[in-house]
């Protein structure tokens, strides 16, 4: 048991560069996610000059812009933030599904951490709970995961 080597990331990648791609749709929620993400990065020692924020119209547009940012190789991770709130139609499923699938594909095709700070919820109340109130802040979580993934990939090398 003691011979097993375990590799895991930590939060020490303070010199890493981050792109945060943010949707404007449901902006009053997404602004809180962005504040949470920036707060985490700064508290862990990432300087503002190492962070760029790019705005897109809606969550459906996040994957393409995340891909363009990843392809520049200027960043160690991309953090995607948005809020998809279910309405009465199937629109939610297409927007949320396309966004999640697209972001996962960008991470794999570009070989770069792309973290998913996109709320997919039924109600505005649920969104508020996850944007800095009683259920935490999913933007902060996505930033913390990005930090950990940068560190983990550095340790894994290759």
Binding site for ligand INI (CB under 6 A): 23, 25-26, 57-61, 82-85, 87, 91-92, 95
Tokens of 141: 């979580």
Q: Please give the DSSP secondary-structure letter assigned to residue 61.
A: G
Q: Among the options 24, 73, 74, 91, which is catalytic?
A: 91
3 state SS of 138: helix
Question: Shortest gap between Cβ of 7 and ligand INI (angstroms)?
Answer: 35
Question: In 3-state terms, what secondary structure has residue 115?
Answer: strand
Task: Write the Ramachandran bin of 22: left for phi over 0, alpha for psi from -120 to 50, otherwise beta.
Answer: beta
Tell me whether residue 44 is one of the annotated catalytic residues.
no
Q: Which residue is nearest to ligand INI (CB)?
A: 58
Among candidate residues 103, 58, 115, the one with its CA nearest the CA of residue 82: 58
CB of 55 to ligand INI, least distance (A): 12
CB-nearer residue toward ligand INI: 11 or 25: 25
Which residue, 120 or 151, has its beta carbon nearer to ligand INI?
120
Minimum distance, C-beta of residue 1 to ligand INI, in the bound complex (Å) = 47
Decide whether 23 or 32 has the Cβ nearer to ligand INI.
23
Pairing verdict, β 77-85 and 18-23: parallel
At its nearest, how many Å lie between ligand INI and the CB of residue 73?
27
Beta carbon nearer to ligand INI, 11 or 92: 92
The first and second tokens of residue 28, run together, are 């009053």
DSSP E strand boundaries for 15-152:
18-23, 51-56, 77-85, 114-121, 131-133, 136-137
The catalytic residues are 91
């Amino acid at each position: 048991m003691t011979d097993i080597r375990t590799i895991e990331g930590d939060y020490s990648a303070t010199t890493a560069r981050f792109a945060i791609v943010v949707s404007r749709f449901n902006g009053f929620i997404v602004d809180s996610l962005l504040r949470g993400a920036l707060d985490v990065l700064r508290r862990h020692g990432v300087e503002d000059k190492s962070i760029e924020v790019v705005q897109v119209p809606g969550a459906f547009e996040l994957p393409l812009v995340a891909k363009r940012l990843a392809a520049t190789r200027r960043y160690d991770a991309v953090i995607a933030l948005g809020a998809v709130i279910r309405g009465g139609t199937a629109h939610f499923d297409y927007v949320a599904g396309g966004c999640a699938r697209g972001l996962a594909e960008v991470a794999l095709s570009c070989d770069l951490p792309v973290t998913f700070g996109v709320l997919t919820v039924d109600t505005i109340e649920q969104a508020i709970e996850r944007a800095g109130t009683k259920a935490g802040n999913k933007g902060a979580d996505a930033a913390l995961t990005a930090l950990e993934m940068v560190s983990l990939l550095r340790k894994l090398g290759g």
